[in-house]
Amino acid sequence: MGDVKVGVVGLGWAASGHLPAFAANPNCVVDALCSSKDLSADEIREMTGGHDATLYHDYDEFLGHPGLDVVDICTPHNIHAGQAIKAAEAGKHIMIEKPLAVEFDALLAMRDAIDQAGVLTTVYFELRFIPHFQLITSVLEMGLLGDVHFFEVDYYHGIGPWYAQFEWNVKKEIGGSALITAGCHALDTLLAFADREVDEVYAYSAKSSAEWAQPYEYDSTSTAIIKFADGAVGKCTSSVDCRQPYVLNIHLVGSEGTLWNDELWSTRMPGLRPDEWVKVPTAQAESGDVLDHPYPPQIDEFMECVLAGRESIINFAEAFKTHRVMFAIEKSLAEGRPVKVSEMAV
């Protein structure tokens, strides 16, 4: 049995991806669950890899579970902030599904509570753990693209009535926006590759005329133009009302080459034909299904962090940077003007 006792709150779609990864990790055990659902002992054992975890219906009682080390927050978006603050105040290490919050003030309150408590955190921007992300990081580190001046990462995933989360995802107070609810994965990826300060953003949005998309209380497609402090530019589209297979589009343009998803061209790779891309075998993000997302390596990394007392590579502070830009984009959409990231006072 693992040394780290984990409690999972919210047993929906996200948790269905987390729980098998916890069960496969030798350093932890899911010892507590918190849900509005009534579950049998057999159902609990099936979820936890054969462990007799305790089921709670009250979050405060759940936080008081004996020996609980880590809280894994898998609830709807608008609940994340309040639950994370309570977990931090209870001295629990925290794993938080994206987005961290649907309002900037709630994000700041989370930051203050986590800083004061000094607990360890990780935020589920799990696409940072896919092989494609690692490949692109290596391409940039080797300088194959030269000085990159354009960064484009786009999220296309039609989230309609065929998904269980649709019923609450369409509500602005819960889903937030196309960028907040899902496209933040693309924004986080873009900002991680750019690794530089954002100066200003300007965003536009629209909504599909399809009948199934009408329940959305917000424009379900948005595009943000990003200006970096060093003069580079970026573009991030978030579409949850598209009708197409899932796509995470990545396009980086530099002085010595270009990367376009799994294709590459570079002046620093001698012998390449000028009119032909090099296709690089890699595992890309090819599905919006949580069961296809790389939760195992992120959960493995965080369990090692808890045991060693060190920060995760995607801790709250790192994810905060992405969310600050995200809320600047939301401000631009709301006010119809360019917004300096510095306006999002911290």
Question: Domains plus CATH for the chain?
Answer: 4-126+293-314 (3.40.50.720), 128-288+323-343 (3.30.360.10)
Q: Are 5 and 31 in contact (CB under 8 A)?
A: yes
Q: In which residue are the tokens 């493995």 written?
A: 300
Calculate the alpha carbon distances from 271 to 44, 142, 147, 266, 291 in Å.
Answer: 58, 18, 21, 10, 40
Per-residue pLDDT of the chain in tens (346 residues, 90 and over written 9): 579 999 999 999 899 999 999 999 999 999 999 999 999 999 999 999 999 999 999 999 999 999 999 999 999 999 999 999 999 999 999 999 999 999 999 999 999 999 999 999 999 999 999 999 999 999 999 999 999 999 999 999 999 999 988 999 999 999 999 999 999 999 999 999 999 999 999 999 999 999 999 999 999 999 999 999 999 999 999 999 999 999 999 999 999 999 999 999 999 999 999 899 999 999 998 887 777 789 999 999 999 999 999 999 999 999 999 999 999 999 999 999 999 999 998 8
Q: Are 259 and 146 in contact (CB under 8 A)?
A: no
With beta carbons less than 8 A apart as the criterion, state whether 97 and 124 touch: yes
**The two three-digit tokens of residue 88, written as one number:** 């931090």
Alpha-carbon distance 5 to 17, whole Å? Answer: 18
pTM of the model: 0.96
CA distances from 264 to 137, 139, 187 (A): 13, 9, 21
| C-alpha distance across the termini of the chain, in Å | 42
Bridge partners of residue 6, in order along the sequence: 30, 70
CA distance 93 to 35: 19
Residues counted in the chain: 346
Task: Report how far residue 249's alpha carbon sits from residue 286's, in angstroms, rounded to the nearest whole number.
Answer: 10
Asked whether 311 and 120 are in contact (CB, 8 A), the reply is: yes
Distances (CA, A) of 180 to 76, 97, 101, 108, 209: 12, 12, 8, 16, 21
Mention every residue, 6+ apart, whose C-beta is less than 8 A from residue 196: 228, 229, 230, 232
Handedness of CA 194, 198, 202, 205 (dihedral sign): positive
Q: For residue 323, which phi and psi values (nearest 5 degrees)?
A: -65, -35
